[in-house]
Amino acid sequence: MTILSFGLFFSFWNVRPIKLFVFSAILLGILLTLAHPSLIDELNDMRSFYLEGTTKSLAFRKNQLKKLHLSLQKHQKNIAEALYKDLKKSPEEAFGTETGLVLSEITHSIKNLHRWLNPEEVRTNLLNQPSGSKIYRDSLGVVLIIAPWNYPMQLLMIPLVGAIAGGNTVILKPSELAPATASVVEKIIMETFSSQYIKVVQGDGSEVVPLMMKNFRFDHVFYTGSLPVGKAIYKLAAEQIVPVSLELGGKSPAIVERDANLSVAARRIVQGKFMNAGQTCIAPDYVLVHEDIKNEFIEKLKEAILQFYSADPEISGEYGKIINQQRFDILIGYLNFGKIIYGGKYNKESLFIEPTVLEGVNEPRSAVWTEEIFGPILPLFTFKTHEEAKALVERNPNPLAFYLFTSSRKMEERWIAEVSFGGGCINNTAWHFANHYLPFGGVGNSGIGAYHGKSSFDTFTRAKPIMKTPVWFDPSIKYPPFKGRLKLFKWLLR
């Protein structure tokens, strides 16, 4: 039974969709708990294991990270084969955008974990002198990580690295839409870790996630995926005051100014957009190009697409496929909203859509303007002035990523100051995600929280402030009665 079946049943009552989802989740959780009590028992066992304190020592955390690193190396071939089966990723793309990023994250965490765990000394105010103050990082407990299908290995494993470094026990929910990768991930986890420490839960996310969240209080929920599902998870978490990280999407613009290096801009936009057949949350969703350079830029785009993916991308080893029939049908519908100036071919049987460039999308209410495309279709728009370009960007505020191509430092600073976005690049696209020294996350509708590197460790721990006061100095002025000390207190608290 699914949320949808509950939705159809209760549609006779005029119930708002979000309320229906939550009501259905509650009822579904009750029914599924009766059918699957063992899962909740296993979650309680993970809580007991965490409370034993085993996961909290530096030695334990580093050892688990090393074990994960070795296991991923051992299974590199299996991971690559699974990613090819699910998304037609080449071995090089599978390593460069999935396995390699996780291995790098693990190495970085092992190297720096002892520093991250050291208490941070901070200043103490005058009132509390001669005390000393430190901030410790405390582990959270049992955390839930829910991954999407588009990068089904690394978007599950990079948060896991932070959760291990943070000293937690972890439930991993891989995407059922990438079943081959989910199966390999489960095999890796079962071979490497105790089920009381890290466990993979398979199944339909609309069933198992509400089941767990309604019947067990997690200490943090980390979700990557779509905005509608993110809202539903946020609502479930709020019922038990559970903190969340939501890594969502958005319509990320790429802006090409008149002074940009057009050859470089075209190559980097094409790479960022059509990697994984456009199924990347930080892919450029659309391009805004200055009208004076439009024609030249379009030619550069065409050259780059041909160079990267050949005249027949369907048989290219560098180009992927659409995840499933449902997404394929949605993407094909986008082709009707503009004039195709490059590409447009597709094959329903192989879930192939050619890298495609559209122009002439003038209807502001069309799906191309209002929905995240999440596929190999790149709408192109022109602008004359900065104000015009900014107004176009503001139609879809708070994008997850923002990309600007210009040779002007002044223009860089202006765009960065004027637009709210999660993160981005100047004269590049997407690769800021691979820099573990930069926090990655959204803003507004594109997400809550950040991770990567130390930011992952911070996400899966909490600050525990401590002030230590000596006993050798204990002036009576700090104790009642306080009458006549107002002037002194005002000075101490200035």
Q: For the domain that residue 93 is a member of, what is the CATH number?
A: 3.40.605.10
Q: For the domain that residue 275 is a member of, what is the CATH number?
A: 3.40.309.10
Residue of 170, 220, 158 whose CA lies nearest to 194: 170
One domain, residues 276 and 233: no
Determine, yes or no, domain membership for 188: yes
For the chain, the farthest-separated pair of C-alpha atoms sits apart, in whole angstroms, at 87
Of the residues 93, 98, 257, 281, which is catalytic? 281
Q: Is 375 exposed, middle or buried (0-12, 13-18, 19+ CB in 10 A)?
A: buried
Determine, yes or no, domain membership for 213: yes
Number of domains the chain is built from: 2
Determine, yes or no, domain membership for 170: yes
Tokens of 396: 């879809």
| Separation CA 27–CA 476 (nearest Å) | 60
HSE value, Cβ hemisphere, 13 Å, CA-based, for 240? 16
One domain, residues 275 and 357: yes
Tokens of 198: 């890290």
Tokens of 464: 């525990």
One domain, residues 242 and 211: yes
One domain, residues 153 and 276: no
| Separation CA 70–CA 54 (nearest Å) | 21
One domain, residues 239 and 266: no
Residue 182, pLDDT score: 98
Determine, yes or no, domain membership for 489: no
One domain, residues 307 and 386: yes
Of the residues 247, 257, 354, 359, which is catalytic? 247
Tokens of 94: 């599978």
Residue 338, pLDDT score: 92
CA distances from 267 to 299, 303, 358 (A): 11, 9, 17
User: In the annotation, is 281 catalytic?
Assistant: yes
Residue 365, pLDDT score: 73
Tokens of 427: 């004269």
- Cα-based torsion angle of the residue sequence 25, 244, 239, 149 in order, rounded to the nearest 10 degrees: 0
One domain, residues 77 and 160: yes
Residue 5, pLDDT score: 39
Determine, yes or no, domain membership for 212: yes
Residue 12, pLDDT score: 33
Determine, yes or no, domain membership for 475: no
Determine, yes or no, domain membership for 197: yes
pLDDT single digits (tens) 352-389: 999 999 998 877 678 888 899 999 999 999 999 999 99
CA distances from 432 to 91, 283, 437 (A): 22, 12, 9
Which residues does the chain have with pLDDT short of 70? 1-37, 364
User: In the annotation, is 207 catalytic?
Assistant: no
Domain residues for the domain of 49 are 36-248+450-459
Determine, yes or no, domain membership for 19: no
pLDDT single digits (tens) 393-413: 999 999 999 999 999 999 999
| Separation CA 418–CA 173 (nearest Å) | 37
One domain, residues 304 and 377: yes
One domain, residues 301 and 422: yes
